[in-house]
Structure 1
Amino acid sequence: MKFFSTALALTLVTSFCLSLSAERLIDEKVKVTSNYDWSNYAQDKGSSKYAPLDQINRSTVKDLQIVWSWDSTDNQRVTLRPQQVPLSFKATPIKINNTLFTSTSLGAVVALDAQTGALQWEFDTETWKDGRPVNLGFHHRGVSYWENSGKKRILMPTNNGYLWSLDAETGLPDSLFGDGGKVDLTEGYGREINRKHYGVTAAPTVVGDIVVIGGLVADYPLMDLPPGHVRGFDIHTGKQRWIFHSIPQHGESGNDTWEDDSWKRAGAANVWTLMSADPELGYVYLPFGTPNNDWYGGARPGDNLYAESLVCLDAKTGKRVWHFQMVHHGLWDYDLPAAPNLVDIKVDGKAIKAVAQVSKQGFVYVLDRVTGAPVWPIEERAVQRSNVPGEHSSPTQPIPSKPEAFELQGISDATLIDFTPELRAAAEKIISRFDHGELFTPPSLKGTIQLPGWGGGANWSGAGFDPETSMFYIPSMTMPSVVQLVEPTKDGTTENRYIRGGTRNVRGPQRLPLTKPPYGRISAINLDTGEYVWVKPNGEGIRQKIIDMGIDDPGPVGTFTISGPLVTKMLLFQAVTDNKKHLLTAYDKQTGETVHQFELPAAPGGTPMTYMVDGKQYIVIAVGGVKDARLVTLALP
């Protein structure tokens, strides 16, 4: 009886505990199935672009329809000020509770009802008052959110070099932040900055109480342009808490990689794209770009740390934890173009907190995100040296052993177009006018065909990661370009011996691409193994043109896109403009099979996101540009 009573008691206790566990699981499931936020630009601070939602699935995706759209207020602004023309609408909204927050290309911040698209508030940062901003003009990718102790803030850095903190509920500036709600980012830099040479187009990264800001720096072939320093600001006051020198100053580690005191005047080497963070570690991960002059480094001898490096910082102090340089002494404009993906993977049975960085040159660099050590060997290999007077290119570059490159690299028999012997012969005649060869063939006075070109490979939209399967999805483009160096005019605008000029692009024979297809693709890699699971063209591309030339049907050949992937429980979404059709394509994420295509009303410019409100799943994507920018929202009937 004593045994029976004890056993019964244990059974009841166990049942009660299991019941509580089941209730907790049910509660969590209810939260996901009734309300799901997209609280960061790429869903989480690790930039996964993944949401565990499956109401829109393989069976139901065919029923998607537009449930609401919001016309950007930029459209009206362009009508009033036609000289201020924005680029494509590139923003990805965030969703908190029942509200979407997004930026516009001309620098406004808006809050929209997540179910109806109704405007809740708008704040105009008046970026346009400082005229056309640096580099590509008016464009912006998004905002960030912070909440603590009842305070809710939207953080918006601007094209003209300010950081705004807005009350998320009212849209009014935070009077305790900086000067009336904004901080002037051209101050506290350590070097005088012309606002025409600096701005921010990416959503900031918030780690704890620190807002981490990089910036878009002019990469013109001038001396004394701003360096791409990264800074941390107090989210309560706007006070600058730390600065990390992208070009190390005197006495700092890495300073000796800028030889002949070139660190004093070199510029750029900036984080113009998005960042990622690991709040548990307290680390932020910075993907740095190329120093200026992009294609000639005679005025900046040395490896040039921390240009084209992934740098891990302690977000609280700004102290460097580790770094890995992907390109030594960059000459190809191979910026690290996208936020690195923070991935928890299992390699040979060992769990690894890793970071996967996609690149313009077509590599994925997979590193331990705690230590910076490569997960698979990365070998320094000899590359062709430059013969341009005054240039001292690096004798080696780091080449990952795994995964293999996801894009065509270099001009060779393996990459040159070969639909017919005649086309191959014509292509060989075209490339004979230029220098060409393997990846990292340096720019020349004759002109060098660079593959991938400066546009990638991968670009700012980055990759997506499925944490449940360790699958990594990379959209990329095959875009060769020509870099020809010329002597600058004697007008005193640059002290560089050579700048880029002359021929800039190269066409293949009969107006076809120079290389083999696909010209745009999606690559799916299992990051537990480093092996490819599938690679698919991202659309039909110029398939019909090839057939009309009497060439055997090559199948879909893909096309270019700047939109990034969205990963859900069952599907992979990718937006593209294909033969004048603007499409949001749903793929089976396990096989790459096209499940459904939804035609969008304008060209996709942003990366799609998804969320749930009251049990209904929505997908939102920014489309359009000059006068037709809008958010398009899809859901099931």
Structure 2
Amino acid sequence: MARRITRGLLAASSLALWGFGPCAAQDWPMFGGDHTNRHFSALSAIDAGNVARLRPAWIFQTGITGYFQAEPVMVDGTLYVSTTQNHVAALDARTGAVRWTYTHKARTEKIFGPPSNRGVAVSDGLVFEATMDGRVIALDTKTGRVVWDHEAVRPEEGESETASALADKLGVGTVQGSSRLGFKMPPLVADGLVIVGVAGAGYGLHVEDEKGGLDGGAVVGIEGGYGRRGWLAAYDAKTGAERWRWYVTKADGWEGEFVDKTPDGVPLHRDIAAERAAAPAHRDAWKVGGGSLWMTPAYDPDLGLIYVGTGNPAPQNFGLSRPGDNLYTMSLVALDVKTGQLRWYYQQVPHDEWGYDVASPPFLLDQATPQGPVKAVAQASKTGWLYVHDRANGQLLTRSAPLIEHKNLYAPPTAAGTVVSPGPLGAISWHPVAYDPTAATAYAQVRHGATTYRVKTVPASGDRPAIRYTETGEAKGEPSFSTLTAIDLGGGGAIKWSVKAGSRLSGGTLATAGGLVFSGEEDGHLDAHDAKTGAVLWRFQCGAGIGGPPISYALDGRQYVAVAAGGASFTKGSGFGTGDALVVFTLSE
């Protein structure tokens, strides 16, 4: 990796276009900027009046093309970034010069879904990374030397039948990934612990469409025991020893109360009688019950709590073989940081059959209420709302106005096909939402579109019984577009403004004290919007789809904005290319 990256590095001296601004040095030391996960920068040297002068300061090419979703971090003048294959580079944050590289040697090629890694954590002289092949590693910040390497998932753990073998049986075409556990999220470092959760538990085949991409293809959920038990674990930051592990699926009573509405009162259209009748035959469904963990928790050190969203139950999109509410999948949960014990949960979608993972990283805020401000945690959802809860007890304080137009929400899949909006890509998927505490406003990339959920059957053949599954696909004739949407959390969750994008939005948002919101598009543009109106004030073509969240940092009185441009899974075959560039901007003179 070191040779490939160094060879791809553009000459920093020829790209350095320094700007000047009254900003003190400021790091971006962890995912989200700090433990609140707000993706907000207090820097204001780059503002609405001068953002038109933003130019590349330097560009770093990793040599690893595609699925570049990592959020870089910057500490003490060094910027750290991970690549698709879990390689890591330490770069001079002023010039892009390579300080060291780490080349990851995976133990297995069998991973869940497209190869992607969403970033590292840096603390106390160590760089922490959780890898696709199930390891948690610590590197020395000065040299890149491996300090410890913990095998959190054995190479074979989670494997049942490869995705390709099942695809052959179902006749559904080319698929990506296999049925095993691994990591995608950037770790959280808190209270001397490195905290990370597995993906790949809520099993589903991701089928390529005719263009070779994933977005228009199917997510197939198969009846039966396909899936794994999701978990979040904490490792000693100094040694890598596991300190606690919390399993998403509840061993006793995961069926819950068989509720017929979501906690916020939306009907679920469940056949409760059929589920109760099926329950005795599926008492052990929790053992393979899913609940992947996609993104980094937020952390409140005063309460000693971490907050994390959990994914869909398994089997994905097929509910009769997992009767009940499937606790604690599809939930925002609060866990004790020292022990991993559950303090409270809010299940957004009991008995999910639509792929509405609680995936976007939660963020902390002070929520205005008639009784005064309340320490709160917010969660942007695939279902098309933003929820705000009391951090201490999980009480729902407010739910935003709808961010999309719903259609047949929570209608069950049928043999004829049920069109539902939003689909499994959600209104808001894993992409981070930026929150400006000075304006009490959240800025979200919102996907608008519908999906057809269709139950299908492969007839029995020989000794093999019939296979039932739910297939999803893009609903033809339904609108499909993205908006950047501002949500007023100081005004009850009203929509301040919503601006339609020219192509699909991806990667997440960054808000700054300069009155700007940065947002990336799949066509390669990084856009700077006026935070008050949504107007686009500046655009730059990065050469490949923006797949990761932008960040901002300051050194020597200069403010920088950095973003990964490598494309994403849905850009394949879309006409937009993939790439390998970390692009860093500052103001021109």
TM-score by length of 2: 0.80
Equivalent residue, structure 2, for 1:59? 49
The answer for the alignment partner of 2:510 in structure 1 is: 566
* Change over 3 Å in CA distance of 1:477–1:239 after alignment to 2: same
Give the drift of 1:187.
5.6
Residues 406, 422 of structure 2: 8 Å contact kept: yes
- Runs of 5+ consecutive residues of structure 1 not aligned to the other structure: 1-30, 76-86, 175-180, 377-401, 411-437, 509-513, 542-558
* 1:573-632 Cα deviation digits (max 9, x unpaired): 333447x5x322221212222222233232211111000011110000100248731100
Aligned 8 A contact 1:288 1:309 in 2: yes
Aligned to 1:552: none
Structure 2 match to 1:156: 129
Q: Who wins on radius of gyration, i.e. which is larger?
A: 1
Determine helix, strand or coil for the equivalent of 2:52. helix
Residue 133 of structure 1: aligned partner: 111
Q: How many angstroms apart in 1 are the aligned matches of 2:193 and 2:419?
A: 43
The counterpart of 1:208, out of the listed 185, 191, 195, is 191
Q: Deviations over 1:67-121 (max 9, x none)?
A: 100001325xxxxxxxxxxx42111100001001111001101111000011111
Does 2:413 match 1:443?
A: yes
Structure 1 residue aligned with 2:272: none
| 1:604 matches 2:546 | yes
Paired residue for 1:23? Answer: none
Q: Choose the corresponding residue for 2:450, options 468, 480, 496.
A: 480
Given the superposition, is the C-alpha separation of residues 232 and 619 from structure 1 closer, same or farther in structure 2, using an over 3 Å criterion? same
Q: Which residue of 1 aligns with 2:405?
A: 408
Distance in 2 between residues matched to 1:615 and 1:246, nearest whole Å: 45
Shift of 1:273: 2.6
Label 1:256 to 1:245 Cα distance change in 2 as closer, same or farther (>3 A).
farther
Distance 1:358 1:533 in 2: 14
The residue correspondences of 1:250-269 to structure 2 (distance < 5 A) are 250=252, 259-260=279-280, 261-269=283-291
Distance 1:58 1:339 in 2: 27
Who is 2:557 aligned against? 615
Q: 1:251-298: per-residue Cα shift (whole Å, max 9, x none)?
A: x78778794313454332121233221122221112001111111111
Task: Give the helix-richer structure, 1 or 2.
Answer: 1
Across the two proteins, how many residue pairs are aligned to each other? Answer: 502
Q: How does 1:148-547 map to 2 (within 5 A)?
A: 152-174=125-147, 181-186=148-153, 197-218=180-201, 219-220=203-204, 221=222, 223=225, 225-250=227-252, 259-260=279-280, 261-348=283-370, 350-376=372-398, 402-410=399-407, 438-488=408-458, 490=460, 498-501=468-471, 504-508=473-477, 514-515=478-479, 519-539=481-501, 541=502
Structure 1 370/442 Cα, relative in aligned 2: closer, same or farther at 3 Å? same
**1:492–1:564 distance in 2 versus 1, CA, 3 Å:** farther
Q: Percent identity?
A: 27
Between 485-494 and 165-174, the greater mean CA deviation after superposition: 485-494
Q: Could you say if the C-alpha distance between residues 192 and 563 of structure 1 is closer, same or farther in structure 2, counting changes exceeding 3 Å?
A: closer
Take 2:542 and 2:464, find their aligned partners in 1: how far apart are those partners? 45
| 1:33/1:612 contact within 8 Å kept | yes
Any idea what the Cα deviations from partners look like across 1:423-449, whole Å, max 9, x if unmatched?
Answer: xxxxxxxxxxxxxxx311111111111
Alpha-carbon contact 1:299-1:496 (below 8 Å) kept: no
Q: Distance in 2 between the 1:158 and 1:597 partners?
A: 33
On the 8 A contact 1:35/1:615 being kept in 2, the answer is: yes
Q: Which amino acid aligns with 2:132?
A: N
Greater CA drift, 563-572 or 91-100: 563-572
- 1:343 deviates by 1.0
CA contact (8 A) 1:243 1:318 kept: yes
**CA distance in 1: counterparts of 2:448 and 2:463, whole angstroms:** 34
Three-state SS of the structure 1 residue aligned to 2:320 is coil
Q: Deviations over 1:161-188 (max 9, x none)?
A: 11101111111111xxxxxx21111269
Equivalent of residue 529 in structure 2, options 587, 592, 598: 587
Tell me if the contact between 1:74 and 1:627 (Cα under 8 Å) persists in the aligned partners.
no
- C-alpha displacement at 1:496, in angstroms? 8.8
Change (3 A) 1:612 1:348: same
Tell me the distance in 2 between the aligned counterparts of 1:479 and 1:164. 39
2:123 pairs with one of 122, 129, 146: 146
List per-residue Cα deviations over 1:461-488 (Å, max 9, x = no partner). 1311011121111111112111101124
Cα pair distance change 1:494/1:318, threshold 3 Å: farther
* Cα deviation, residue 374, structure 1: 1.0
Partner Cα distance (2:193, 2:454) in 1: 43
1:88 maps to which of 67, 77, 86: 67
1:46 to 29, 36, 55: 36
Distance 2:89 2:348 in 1: 37
The answer (yes or no) to whether the contact 1:32–1:53 under 8 Å persists in 2 is: no
Looking at structure 2, the residues matched to 494 and 311 of structure 1 have their Cα atoms a distance apart, in angstroms, of: 40
Query: Displacement of 1:489 after TM fit?
Result: 5.1
Determine the C-alpha separation between the residues in 1 that align with 2:199 and 2:537: 38
Give the C-alpha shift of residue 563 in structure 1: 2.0
CA contact (8 A) 1:188 1:240 kept: no
Task: Report the equivalent of 1:430.
Answer: none
Distance 1:98 1:317, change over 3 A: same
Query: SS in structure 1 opposite 2:23?
Result: helix
Distance 1:492 1:289, change over 3 A: farther
Q: 1:632 to 1:312 in 2, by over 3 A?
A: same
Deviations 1:337-373 (A, max 9, x none): 2111111122225111111111111011111011101
Q: How far apart are residue 497 of structure 1 and its match?
A: 5.8
- Structure 1 residues 496, 57: CA separation in 2 closer, same or farther (over 3 Å shift)? farther
Structure 1 position 533, deviation (Å): 4.7
2:228·2:314 contact (CA, 8 Å) conserved in 1?
no
Q: Please tell me whether the aligned partners of residues 38 and 611 of structure 1 are also in contact (alpha carbons under 8 angstroms).
A: yes
Residues 358, 192 of structure 1: CA spacing in aligned structure 2 closer, same or farther, 3 A cutoff?
A: closer
Change (3 A) 1:293 1:492: farther
Where does the alignment leave 5 or more consecutive residues of structure 2 unmatched? 1-20, 161-177, 205-221, 259-274, 568-576
Q: Distance in 1 between matches of 2:440 and 2:463?
A: 50
Q: Give 2:208's aligned residue.
A: none
Query: Contact between 2:525 and 2:539, CA under 8 Å: does it hold in 1?
Result: yes
Q: RCO higher in 1 or 2 (8 Å CA, sep ≥ 6)?
A: 2
Give, as a single letter, the amino acid of the residue that structure 2 aligns with 1:570: G
Contact 1:223 1:495 in 2 (8 A): no
- Letter of the 2:308 counterpart: L
- Call closer, same or farther: CA 1:492–1:169 in 2, change over 3 Å: farther
CA separation of 1:349/1:60 partners in 2, compared to 1, >3 Å: closer, same or farther? farther
Q: Which amino acid aligns with 2:151?
A: D
Q: Say which of 77, 84, 93 aligns to 1:98.
A: 77
